Amino acid sequence: MLSREENELITKVGSGTPMGNLMRQYWVPALRASKIEADGAPVRVRLFGENFVAFRATDGRVGFFDEACPHRGVSLALGRNEDCAIRCIFHGWKIDVSGQVVEVPSEPAGSNMASKIKVNHYPVHESIGLVWVWLGQGEVPPFPNYEFNNVPLDQVRVVQAQSNCNWLQIIETTIDSSHVALLHQYWLQGDAVQATTPLLAQTLQDRAPTYEIEPTRYGFHAAATRNLANNIRYVRVSEFVAPFISFIPPGQDMPKFTNIVVPVDDEHTIHWFVYHDPEKSINLSPLFYKINFGAEEPDEDNFYNNHGGKDKMWGQDREAMKNGHFTGMYALFVEDFVIGESQGAIADRTKEKLGRSDIAIINARKVLIKAVREFQETREVFGQDPSIAYDQIDAKNLLLEPGEDWHDRLGLARTEQQGVGVA
């Protein structure tokens, strides 16, 4: 468990908070690129407890500003998007894509006020159909060249959802392999999953995996080993890329799967599901969507939007539970989101009783606490070493024969810091 001070240190992300300051040093997805069009309506974006506005200028460039007009604080999302600039509708102040105020028509002729004023604007990068933004201080880091950022658009599919809880609850769920065969057992027992992703269904044979953690310069490898029949072991090796990305072993013959968890504020989180195939076009079936997102044609901008919330117990179907459904929830990923929200807006980690199945969670918290404190002391940003081969980060499913070691299969050296134990 964590102390109250440690819990607040790594959950609070607002302006001026230690974790918020660190998170702003990483590139984060902010919105779909298709949501803004040249000279179209600006879009409000909320990240890390602050409000921004994004727009696409006449020439196609993307502007990303603080939402408030520097004059009187009126929302620039109400502004006119024209002539490669936003014009505030209150007093007509015009701000170009660089954030420079270029016209103040409310001021007398001859005023040089415009040249003295600039809006906070932020670097952006478009990739996989998303607009990414960097909100940090100092030198802008290179855009991360993860493999999914290097494939054509037809080879990637992004699904989005918003949950009403702190970001850490969501990222912890994504790196927790031990819950898969328990929370999601109804779906893994079904004929559809048995037919489409039989390897993932093997987790049902051993619901208490043994964890090993190997530290990396960006987070860690988390290997969850399950014992199958005939002394075969099934190892799911996930990747935690601090502070908010996880690479999850995909189902058999399925696209690769990455989770990006971005705080909206302390109590709301955007979750980006990124599927990609480095070799061919993505074709996620209606059945896949139905199992994972609850509809054959889900709302890809927020599939998690029809559950009724905690006041209606997230739409849990008790009759279905009587008839064999373990959770009574309408989709696999909905189960993850409901679990996160049920812990409260910000989980109280001072009361937890953790065991060996929580090793990945324990290590993630240690990585985050260390990263925040080092940034406070040295301004060094964890995981941003340009020598790291980000495009090689990849989760793996492994079936091991007796005597085989997952380190050898992946070409990894075994360290002394296995992360095994109880905290």
pLDDT of residue 40: 97
**Phi, psi (degrees; rounded to nearest 5) at 356:** -65, -25
* pTM of structure: 0.94
Domains, the chain, with CATH or none: 28-133 (2.102.10.10), 150-410 (3.90.380)
Angstrom CA distances, 94 to 40, 54, 245, stand at 16, 15, 37
Quote the distance between the C-alpha of residue 37 and its chain's center. Answer: 25
Taking the CA atoms of the chain, what radius of gyration do you get in angstroms? 23
User: CA-CA distance, 208 to 357, in Å (whole number)?
Assistant: 7
pLDDT of residue 196: 61
Task: Tell me the two tokens of residue 34.
Answer: 């298709």
User: CA-CA distance, 188 to 179, in Å (whole number)?
Assistant: 12
User: CA-CA distance, 172 to 64, in Å (whole number)?
Assistant: 30
Q: Which residues contact 333 (CB under 8 A, 6 or more apart)?
A: 161, 273, 292, 293, 303, 304
pLDDT of residue 421: 38
User: CA-CA distance, 180 to 188, in Å (whole number)?
Assistant: 9
pLDDT of residue 390: 95
User: CA-CA distance, 350 to 372, in Å (whole number)?
Assistant: 19
Give the model confidence (pLDDT) of 82-95 as tens digits: 999 999 999 999 99
pLDDT of residue 201: 81
pLDDT of residue 392: 95
Residue (of 47, 57, 219) closest to 132 by Cα position: 47
Q: Which residues contact 13 (CB under 8 A, 6 or more apart)?
A: 19, 20, 23, 48, 49, 167, 263, 265, 266
DSSP helix/strand/coil, 193:
helix
DSSP string, 232-269: -EEEEEEEEETTTEEEEPPPTT--EEEEEEEEEETTEE
pLDDT, averaged per 10 consecutive residues of the chain (423 residues), comes to: 95 97 98 97 98 97 96 96 96 94 89 86 97 97 96 96 96 93 90 69 88 95 94 94 95 88 98 96 90 92 82 93 95 94 96 93 97 97 94 94 92 66 35
pLDDT of residue 422: 35
Residue 300's identity, in one-letter code, is E
